[in-house]
Structure 1
């Protein structure tokens, strides 16, 4: 085991100097500090867990989590994963503060980000894809805040990494699944959350891209529901009333239960084949009722756990992410393999 004493001997300095250099305590000549850190890295030095925990508790690391989780059951599993990860870091004094919102209101998200200033050392956020949000993220990073995007990403920001699914592939997979189930011919109605969400747009783009291999497919209409169940019900009902020839429904985001309630009002023989995302309880209920044929699973609990772990590693161990994107594989699930 490599110790501070060993590093001190090899660098020709005192153990106290090594401690100050590696833990940022007191003043150490920049050249000496660089030499010590390089030696520690070469030797694979790992701080003593008890000492590391004591040092972390003194710093009181705080992670802020900002999610559009109100009324969206998908985020329940994300938060569950976060809570599980955070519980294992209690010894380090880690605190996780949750900030929630409903839907995709840019001003609301900016307001909550503003509230966090000076209160958090890291931010995990499911961002709205808007230039003002990207600018706010950049400002936080410039101020020394570690930023992880989760579930959804954002264009052109300085965020440190993204944890979530491959949305483009999710759309491709959904189209390929419908193609296999319907024999290459379908008139598709699509229900999405919001065009302000990068992932939703990428999922739609992936679906359209895969449609090039299915000439018998056509998109009848695309509606947005803001991931709101009531809105989803009302707009899906209008969609089905206006287009009785729809043979397939692709529910590419939240609001699945509301959309399915609208589908249930049709006579059984006229109901379109429907696929959706994620195994939240209300969607599983609709699978049992035969309304949803299959789902694509994005591993929400794993997403939450990984995001907290990445932020912890940075705050407590000073480790930057080893890649920019941590992608969860989209998995097709039927009622039989949930």
Structure 2
């Protein structure tokens, strides 16, 4: 619309009187929340050049459901959600539920039990979790998936990186760092976890175009250090041509112990995930070649932002990075670009 935007223009677009627009724009009260939102939306659409009041806000309670607190990534995620509580608007409350059991049944029960307004969850792709999310949708409780997506569910958004591309990136560096072409050992928790399966498929897709490279086996270590070490030792003993290990989940310490056993003629390239004090030490030692970090700090913020957008919580007409919902990028760490402080689990 050409020329200066006036309150009359906003009133016409919103379908209300100019006096109502004046009360909303100048935050004078006595206007319903629905009318206030309609007026503010009209002002934003027209590009009204002035600071607008915030939306009508109620308290939003968000439950974050994670499992297996002993895993470094989960602990980093828990810590970040705790930090977010100190910087978010006081009308946003975050409740953290940390389960010891990561089974679909346990997570589904936690989803169904929530009394919060929204849920952020790390869950497996399973009929039980799908049904639980669908039940929450019927209760008008939005769900955002974290770390690993479950795209077939009724979640409103996913807060995390592209794991397929992470797997392709791992393949790229493995083929460049390996001393020669050969089989690659892959370790995961279980392929039922979407992020792990996506990473493996990304690696498979990349290696398909690399002559001489193949996947020796996909070992399910359940993110357990001892189980991972035992399964990899067995694989190394049976296939001494392995040139690389790609760990798509936790259990990096188990991989390191299997490599240190020197069952292979030469130590393999080792690409893993998540920067922790343990992976940082392995990178410095030279046992690990590269770690792909999915930035849990940014994921936590992104997940909350999706919830705030869903509840129309953003400041209309204002650029505010708090509500940034752009896709996340991973960070690659080798021994030469580790941050000064890696003293975290």
Alignment partner, residue 125 of structure 2: 129
Q: Does 1:188 align with 2:180?
A: no
> Displacement of 1:300 after TM fit?
1.6
SS class of match (1:335): coil
Cα deviations across residues 120-176 of structure 1 (Å, max 9, x unaligned)? 111111121112212211221221112111111003122111111111111111011
Match of 2:287 among 263, 286, 291: 291
Alignment partner, residue 29 of structure 1: none
Contact 1:170-1:203 at 8 Å conserved across structures: yes
Q: Does 1:144 align with 2:140?
A: yes
The structure-2 alpha-carbon separation of the partners of 1:42 and 1:248, relative to structure 1 and needing over 3 Å to count, comes to closer
Output aligned runs, 1:209-288, within 5 Å: 209-266=205-262, 270-288=266-284
Match of 2:155 among 151, 159, 171: 159
Query: CA separation in 2, counterparts of 1:232 and 1:186?
Result: 21
Q: Does 1:23 align with 2:30?
A: no
Contact 1:65-1:124 at 8 Å conserved across structures: yes
Using the TM superposition, name which of 60-69 and 199-208 deviates more.
Answer: 60-69
Query: CA separation in 2, counterparts of 1:240 and 1:102?
Result: 31
Query: CA separation in 2, counterparts of 1:146 and 1:3?
Result: 37
Alignment partner, residue 87 of structure 2: 88
Query: CA separation in 2, counterparts of 1:227 and 1:254?
Result: 5
Q: Does 1:328 align with 2:328?
A: yes
Contact 1:62-1:94 at 8 Å conserved across structures: yes
Query: CA separation in 1, counterparts of 2:107 and 2:7?
Result: 45
Query: CA separation in 1, counterparts of 2:120 and 2:181?
Result: 42
The structure-2 alpha-carbon separation of the partners of 1:235 and 1:46, relative to structure 1 and needing over 3 Å to count, comes to farther
Contact 1:71-1:228 at 8 Å conserved across structures: no
Contact 1:191-1:222 at 8 Å conserved across structures: yes
The structure-2 alpha-carbon separation of the partners of 1:103 and 1:249, relative to structure 1 and needing over 3 Å to count, comes to farther
Alignment partner, residue 39 of structure 1: 42
Contact 1:162-1:326 at 8 Å conserved across structures: no
Unpaired runs of 5+ residues, structure 1, are 25-31
> Displacement of 1:305 after TM fit?
1.9
Contact 1:294-1:334 at 8 Å conserved across structures: yes
Query: CA separation in 1, counterparts of 2:146 and 2:331?
Result: 18
The structure-2 alpha-carbon separation of the partners of 1:126 and 1:22, relative to structure 1 and needing over 3 Å to count, comes to farther
Unpaired runs of 5+ residues, structure 2, are 316-322, 339-345
- Which structure has greater helix proportion? 1
> Displacement of 1:299 after TM fit?
1.6
> Displacement of 1:18 after TM fit?
8.8
Query: CA separation in 2, counterparts of 1:22 and 1:262?
Result: 65
Query: CA separation in 1, counterparts of 2:268 and 2:306?
Result: 42
Q: Count the aligned residue pairs.
A: 319
Query: CA separation in 2, counterparts of 1:34 and 1:62?
Result: 21
The structure-2 alpha-carbon separation of the partners of 1:224 and 1:104, relative to structure 1 and needing over 3 Å to count, comes to farther
Flag the structure with more relative contact order, 1 or 2, with Cα contacts below 8 A and sequence separation at least 6. Answer: 1
Match of 2:201 among 199, 202, 205: 205
> Displacement of 1:35 after TM fit?
5.9
Contact 2:180-2:243 at 8 Å conserved across structures: no
The structure-2 alpha-carbon separation of the partners of 1:107 and 1:4, relative to structure 1 and needing over 3 Å to count, comes to farther
Q: Deviation above 4 Å: which 4+ runs of structure 1?
A: 2-10, 16-22, 32-35, 43-47
TM norm structure 1: 0.82
Contact 1:147-1:159 at 8 Å conserved across structures: yes
CA root-mean-square deviation: 3.3
Contact 1:82-1:307 at 8 Å conserved across structures: no
